[in-house]
Every structure is written in C-alpha cells, then in structure tokens.
Chains A and B, each alone.
Chain A
Amino acid sequence: MKSSELTLRTHDCKTLFEGGIFLSVLHFAILLPLLAAPFIPFLFRALKGIHTGWFVLLVPVTLFVYFFRYIGVTSNGDVVTETVRWMPSLGINFTAYVDGLGLLFALLITGIGALVVLYSIYYLNKDKESLGHFYVYLLLFMGAMLGVVLSDNMIVMYMFWELTSISSFLLIGYWYEKERSRYGAQKSMLITVFGGLSMLGGIVLLESMVGSFSIREMVANQAVIADSPFFLAAMLLILLGAFTKSAQFPFHIWLPDAMEAPTPVSAYLHSATMVKAGLYLVARMSPVFQESSVWLWVIASVGMFTMFWGSFNAVKQTDLKGILAFSTVSQLGLIMSLLGLGAAALHYDGVDDNLFMVATIAAIFHLINHATFKGSLFMMVGIVDHETGTRDIRKLGGLMTVMPISFTIAVIGSLSMAGLPPFNGFLSKEMFLKATTKVFEMDFFALDTIGILIPVVAFIGSVFTFIYSFLLFTRTFMGKAKFNQLPKQPHEAPIGMLISPVILALLVVGLGFFPNVLSNTLIKPAVESIYPTLVAAGQDVKVDIYFWHGFTPELYMTIGVILLGSLLFWSIGKWMGIYNRVPERLTLNGLYDETLVWSNKAAYRFKDNYMTGFLRSYLVYIFVFLSGTMLFTMWRLDAFNYSFSNLADIAPYEYVLAAVVILAAFAILFMRSRLPAIILLGVVGYSVALFFVFFGAPDLALTQLVIETVSVALFLLVFYHMPDISKKEERMRFKVGNAVVSVLIGVTVMLLSFMALSNRSLTSISEYYKENVYDLAAGKNMVNVVLVDFRGFDTLFEIVVLALAALGIYTMIKFRTTQRTKGEGEHEPKQ
C-alpha cells in the first residue's frame, strides 16, 4: 500500500493534481479512432456482405462535425484545454490543447480522412482484400495523427508521432507480398523513426531547460531556452524530426518508395496529412525558436532546395504516382521554406501591417490548398490505375474521351498545382513568390545579400512545377490513344469513386474564388498560434486574400514561370538527357542502400566474433566485465579500507558448513564425468541454503532449496543430450584461462561483500521496511511485502522477463525441430 505515494511526496503537489483522471469528451474524440479500431476485424468477419469501409466512415465524419464546432472558439482567439493525469510524477499528462493551428490540422485529418475512406470503399475490393487489417491501420493512423496535433505535452506528442510512423509502415507494407512494398515500408520506417528519436533527444533537452514537457510552458519560457547553451542542439534535433517526417532533402528519399501503398493511403498519409506533421512541428515550435537566425536560414534553405529538387526530379518520373510523390516533396519544401521565412516577422519593427507575416499566412493557406489539389490528383491517379491497370505515362494517353470526369479533375488539380488562376493554388503561389521577394526588404541575418538566391531558386522550382503539372494530365489524357497496350479496357470510374475527388476539385475552384472563407475561420487563428508574442504585443494578423494585386514583382514572376515553363515543356525531348548524367551509385538512394547492406554486414561480422554459441564464453564475458569494472572502481575510489570490528563471532558448526562448501566446490573441478559434478553442485547449493537457515532467512532458504531441487531435475532432463566432455576442455591453456576468470570473479565478490559490511555511511533501507511494513502494507513478512508491494514494480517486470525467457526457450527449441523436419525453410513458421 502507498508505496508509490512515497516517491510522489517528494514532488511538487501542484503539478501532480492538475487535471482529472477521467477522459473528457475532447480526449474521447482524439482517441475515438483508436477505440474503434479493435472492432473492425470483427465487423469485417461477421458482416461479409457490407464493405467494412462504411462502418469506418462514421468515425472521421463524426469527428469532422465535432471539430467543426470548435471553429467558433478558435476564431475568437480562445483555446480549449483538457488535462488527464497520466504519469504526473514524471510531468507527463495527456493535455489536449485545441488552438487555431491544432484545429486546422484536426479538420484536415478528419475531413480528408472521411473523403479517403469513402474513396477506398470503391477502390479496395471487399472480397479480395484483407480490409480488416487495412482499416485498423488507417484508424490507428487517424488517432495517432489527431494525438500529434492536439497534444500539449511533448512526450505524449512524441508517442503519437511514432505511432504515425508505425501505422505508415504498416500501410505501405499493406501488400506485403510485393518486394517493393516491404522495401518502401522499411525505408520509411528507418528514416522517420531516426528523425523521431532525434526529436526525442531535442524534447529531453528542452525539458531540461524549462522543467516541463508542456509546449505552452516552453513558449512562455522562450527566453530561458534562448539563453541555454543547448539551444542550437535542441533546435537542430527537433528539426531533424520535422525534416525526416516531411520528407525534406536529403531525407525525401523515403516518400517516392512509400507510393507502394494503396492509393487512398498515398492520398491521405503521404500527401495530405502525415507528411505535414513535420510542418506542424515546425509551426508549433516556431514561437520557441524563431528568433534565431539559424532557424530562419536552416528551414528556409532546406525547404527551398527541397522545393527545387523535388520539382526537378518529378519531371523525369514515368510513374504517375512517382510524379505526385516528388511533387509532394517539392510542395512540402515550399511550405517549409515559407514557415522559415515567416520568422522574419519577429524582426520587423514597423508600426502597422507586418508585411513579413505574409510568408506564414501563405504557408498555412498553401497547406490547405495542397491538401485539396494533391488529394484530388492522387485519387484521380488511383482511378486511372484502377480502370486501366497501369500508371506508366509511357503507356497511357488519350483517355480524355473515355474518362471525361477524371480528366476534368486532373486539369483542375494540375493547373492549381502549377499556380495558375483562377484556382486556389494560384493565390497561395502568388503569396509564396511575394514572400520570397520580401527578402530584399530584410536587412538582417545577411538576407539582403545571399538571400537573393531565395527568389531565384523559388522561380526555378516553380518552372519545373509548371512542367510536371502539365506532363501529368497531358501524358495521361491527351495525345494518341494506345488502348491496346493497356492491361484493361479503360472506361470512366463508378460514381462512388468519383465523389471524393470531385468534392476536392470543387474545393479547389471554390477556394480559388472565395479564399476569404478561410481567412478568419482557419488561417488567422492558426497564424496567431505561430506568433503568440506578436499577438500579445497587439499586432493584428490581417488575412485578406485577393486575386489582383496590380503589377507587382510576383505577378511578373508568375508570367515568367508560364512563359519559360511552356517553352521548356514543348522542348522537353531536347533536354531530358541531363537526368542521365548522375550515375546510379552516387544518388541518395544508392547511398541508403549501400549503408543498409554495409551495416548489416558489419553487424554480422561483429556478432560472429563474440557469439560463439557456447554458454561458457558468455559467462567469461560477463564475469570479466563485472570484475573489471568493480575492481577498477574500488581502486579508483580507494575503497579497500575494511573494518571487521562489528562482526559476530563464528560458531563451530559454521566452520564445518563452510568447509563442506569449499570442499565440494573444489571437488567439482576434478570430476571426470558430469553426474558427480552435478551432485556436488547440489551439495554446494543445499549448504548455502543451510547458511540461510542459520542466519534467519527462512524465505531465502526455502527458495534456494526448491530452486536447487528443480535445477537438478532440469540437469537430469538435459543430461541425455549433453555431449561428452570434449578434448578442448582438457587443454591446459583453456583450463588456466578459466581458472583465472573464476578466481577473479570470486575475489571481486568477496571484496564487494567485505566492503558492504564495513562501510555503512547510510542507514540500511531495511530499517525503513521494518518500521513501515505493517502500517503501510498490513503485512508482517517483510520479504513478501517488499516483493508484492514496496518493490512491486520490480516483481511485475521480473515476471514479465521470466515469461519472455520461457517463451524464448520454447520457440528456440520448437523452431529448431520444425526447421529440421521441414528442411531448408527461409520463412519462419507463423505462431
């Protein structure tokens, strides 16, 4: 009883009892997808006649409606906070926090989620696919993603963050029979989890500065963080997490391979939501870091280069999803660079109308737009794939006449992506170009000198974006029809499959004409969460989006993009050769593959050196290490001054018992066969049990006796299988080596026990137990109470370890026998 309260008392009570223990409605909303997930396999099995997706659809639709109501709250600048205590003693509470930024993402996740689930109902065949798995992974992702964007506690956020990586891994590997799927799944997992772990490091550093895992606390103590010597390290570690997740150069290589996932997944995770978690993180952490010049430069330059590199590579792709994957990389880079440039707003000391905020406003606006046009394009590609059986643009062409609706969707999406009016992509692209030209006005962080590169790279990236956007729909829908080369005879998709992309395409057009629907409802609250200090200082975030700005630099840039883009598009055959200049081995993918192969080989070589398969080798490692560290520590701390003053007298029978133990132990060494050795070992064990009896430790004595008995029985069982004592064991060198090790460990343990006896600087913990065992735990047997109560956590984990060890032995032995009967089997038998 109350054992854990003991440790709690030392902590501050105020933080402990903040929040309740029961989940609020908001928490239930976040966890609803996770709570619904376990029922999906049963529904799938029980109701074969109905596509499981219809049940799943209820979840995002409900949540979308639920979160929609929060718009009223956040657009007033208010926030909603609900706290549930989880591990208060460690400062980890599940604090749900809804502000403008979080709500924007929550609406994206549930809104796009609903459309994707609807689309998937027609995309995935209910009789052929294992929908039970698919929708569990999808719901897992949805819940995890909601958790990421609505958690205030960074450890909780980190947990959900990794859960998105895991669910993404499962979804990419959904068609796990395909080698490419497994490769892509592993790649995404390795890269994003690497980033996630770096981020965890950053979180721990931040916590050590502020003393809290809460993001709000970190924002409030921004000054403390900025003064810390670990400021830069924490920032870069957090950025590693964001860059890997959002597929920024050079970590973007996982995203194209993630396209092996079913298309609804690509539309959902790998363009609209999960890859934007990195953007979310950057936006969320902006208030903490954005005063630093490194923050601005790193994010802006990485984002800008990613934007260029993604669009440049998208042009050479032949797979429709490949184009979209690189395009997503490019667009993510664009938003990322805008978030970086947005930090400049803090250094603006004008009075009204902070013009530098335009970058952040553009980032948020483009984030929404990208979700709409890229979502519709992905779904369009899925339809083409579904109806023609291929996604290769070299085989496709001329589909315009047979698939008019898909063609319309493709044109709207592509033109919006290319940044042409009158679609929403034009508006945010204009704002992006405007933000890049603003660097000329920034007279800090060397932005007015090297910063000139920013609009230049933005321009080049936009040109390539223009080219691949046009390639996307011209190569698929226009040109010569080659229907006889297609695996299937193409025709328009069923109406259900078209609903979702049509809704998104309508949004693309609608937001193009009426962008200000979003201004005060979603964009302004989100931007305000990124600039808490400016809002507090009374600056107004003004969001007003319109088409015509007059003859501004950004308009000239757009016209330039269209002209140069068209020119390059028509002459594409002449310059495609530049893509073959880089040899395969020198690419980032080559580097990744080489690293994987090399590290695998190195690990095997290292392992084979010390994993001999002989238990005695492992015992030697353990003993030598233990003695080495122990003796070294004792020598360093000069801990050899023992005192034997307070020892009890030794009774005669104790001498006898000690003699028996020593004799039996020595006799083992000279036994020629195993049976007498085992019996002598038993003698040692039972004598030790007798010692326990003498010293008043009945529990230990009992345990020792039974263990001794059981282990002798175990010996008898394995006796038949043991080989004879080998020649090797007879060799002198071998014997001497073992003797040295055993003497070493014996001496170490002896010295250690002398030390434990003589240098008592602290009162023994057993005094505490003696006093409290009855009052706190209502028990009289101290040993047992310690086991089940005071140190119950230890026991809990010990029995887990025991059970795992037993399962390990079971599987090792059973697998060995099954493999022998089956012969060479590469696949491990399924349990």
Chain B
Amino acid sequence: MNRNSNRVNDVILQSAALIIFFIIIIFSINLFFAGHYSPGGGFIGGLMTAAALVLLLLAFDAKTLTNVLPINYRIMSATGLLIALATSLHSVFFDRPFLTHAYDKFDLPLLGEQTLHTAITFDLGVYLVVIGVTMTIIQTIGESE
C-alpha cells in the first residue's frame, strides 16, 4: 500500500493504536490461557492478536509493521502446525492412541495449585497457525500492487 504520498493526518488513530494495540494483545493472551475454563482459546486468541496487528497495519502501513515486527508469518504457521502435530503425537510414545492428552495438578510458586494440560501446547499450535494464516493473507494482499 502506497499511501504515504496522499496520506491524511491520522495522528489520533496512530496514537490511539499504539496504546490499544497492547491492550488487545494482553487481552488476547488472557483469552488464550483462559480457554480451558472460560470463553477463549487458541483460535479466538490468535484471531484477536491478528486483529491487533491489523490495527497497526491500518494505522501505519505494511512497511512499518514489518520493520517493527520482522516476523515471517508463513514460518509462524508452519511452527504452529509442527507444535500441534508434536503434541498430538506425544501420546503414541506412551502407548496411547494418537491425540490423547495428559494433565495433572501442580503446585506452582506464586500461582498456587494449577492444572497443567498438554491441550495448552496443542492450542498454542492453533494460536500460532491462526495468527500466521491471517497475517500471511493480509500481508500478501496488502503488499501486492
């Protein structure tokens, strides 16, 4: 997108975006971790993060975004897929069928008793794939002339 030449004054949008961006990101991370017990999860969390990135993209431009966050989103989705697949596969090595999850309760410092669940790594894979896919699509379409 080549909007720098005839760009309108969007100081308000840019300043607001800088603050809102972090709020959305934190909210999305919260959504991601909350997933197993209350509304949220990897899919919605990933979409929310992608939305925050899109906000930056709209407020500034594609070039600025890649300068600030030099992430290759295609590799990100591939990484996500690998994480999800590895999580699904792990049970096979414990003589359980594919995609059997494991969980247990742990006493963690500061956080108290928490459940740790392999579903979270699967969800992390989903999270990364969703961000990767959304941003790949938006970036390629945005960058093409």
Contact = CB atoms under 8 A, between A and B. Distances in A.
B44 A780 contact: no
Contacts of A703: 43-44, 47
Interface string A791-831: 01101100110110111011001101100000000000000
Contacts of B31: 702
A813 B141 contact: yes
A703 B115 CA distance: 25
The DSSP consensus for interface residues of chain A is helix
B17 interface: no
B142 A717 contact: yes
A814 B140 contact: yes
B133 A796 contact: no
B74 A788 contact: no
24 contacts: A699-B40, A702-B31, A710-B50, A710-B138, A713-B138, A717-B1, A781-B37, A781-B38, A781-B39, A784-B40, A785-B36, A799-B126, A799-B129, A802-B129, A803-B77, A803-B78, A803-B80, A806-B73, A806-B77, A806-B132, A806-B137, A807-B74, A809-B137, A817-B144
Contact of B99 (A779, A796, A813): A796
B128 to A, nearest CB: 9
Nearest to B85: A796
A788 B130 contact: no
B111 interface: no
Given A718-B141, A806-B77, A710 B100 contact: no
B40 to A, nearest CB: 7
Contacts, number: 166
Interface of B: 1, 31, 34-44, 47-48, 50-51, 54, 57-58, 73-74, 77-78, 80-81, 84-85, 88, 92-93, 95-103, 115, 117, 119, 122-123, 125-126, 129-130, 132-134, 136-138, 140-142, 144-145
B133 A805 contact: yes
Given A710-B138, A717-B138, A810-B74, 20 more contacts: A3-B100, A698-B39, A706-B47, A713-B51, A713-B138, A721-B144, A780-B37, A781-B37, A784-B40, A788-B36, A788-B41, A788-B119, A792-B101, A796-B88, A802-B130, A803-B78, A803-B132, A806-B77, A807-B136, A809-B137
Interface string A29-41: 0000000000000
A792 B39 contact: no
B80 A799 contact: yes
A1 B102 contact: yes
Contacts of A717: 1, 138, 141-142
Contact of A799 (B51, B84, B134): B84
Contacts of B144: 721, 813, 816-817
Contacts of A796: 84-85, 88, 99
Given A710-B50, A817-B144, A799 B41 contact: no
A778 interface: yes
Contacts of B133: 802-803, 805-806
Contact of B92 (A5, A21, A698, A706): A21
A787 B43 contact: yes
Nearest to A718: B141
Nearest to A785: B36
A784 B88 contact: no
A793 B99 contact: yes
Contacts of A713: 51, 54, 57-58, 138
B30 to A, nearest CB: 12
The 10 closest A-B pairs by CB, nearest first: A784-B41, A698-B39, A4-B97, A806-B133, A806-B136, A799-B129, A779-B36, A706-B47, A780-B37, A784-B35
A796 B117 CA distance: 17
Nearest to A811: B140
A439 B33 CA distance: 77
A781 B36 contact: yes
Contacts of B92: 21
A816 B50 CA distance: 26
Interface string A694-714: 000011001100110110011
B97 A781 contact: no
A1 B115 CA distance: 14
- Taking each of A1, A785, A807, which has the highest tally of chain B beta carbons within 10 Å of its own beta carbon? A1
Contacts of B101: 1, 777, 788-789, 792
A702 B74 CA distance: 25
A783 interface: yes
A8 interface: yes
Interface in A716-752: 716-718, 720-721
A793 B84 CA distance: 10
A721 B125 CA distance: 33
A2 interface: yes
A705 to B, nearest CB: 9
- Taking each of B36, B40, B78, which has the highest tally of chain A beta carbons within 10 Å of its own beta carbon? B36
Given A784-B36, A802-B129, A792 B88 contact: yes
A810 to B, nearest CB: 5
A95 interface: no
Contacts of A699: 39-41, 44
A710 B97 CA distance: 37
Contacts of B117: 778-779
B99 A778 contact: no
A696 to B, nearest CB: 11
- Taking each of B50, B85, B137, which has the highest tally of chain A beta carbons within 10 Å of its own beta carbon? B137
A599 B35 CA distance: 51
A327 interface: no
A404 to B, nearest CB: 59
A361 to B, nearest CB: 44
Contacts of B140: 809-810, 813-814
A777 B93 CA distance: 20
A89 interface: yes
Given A1-B101, A714-B141, A796-B88, A803 B40 contact: no
Contact of A780 (B38, B48, B132): B38
B74 A806 contact: yes
Contacts of A1: 100-103
A21 B95 contact: yes
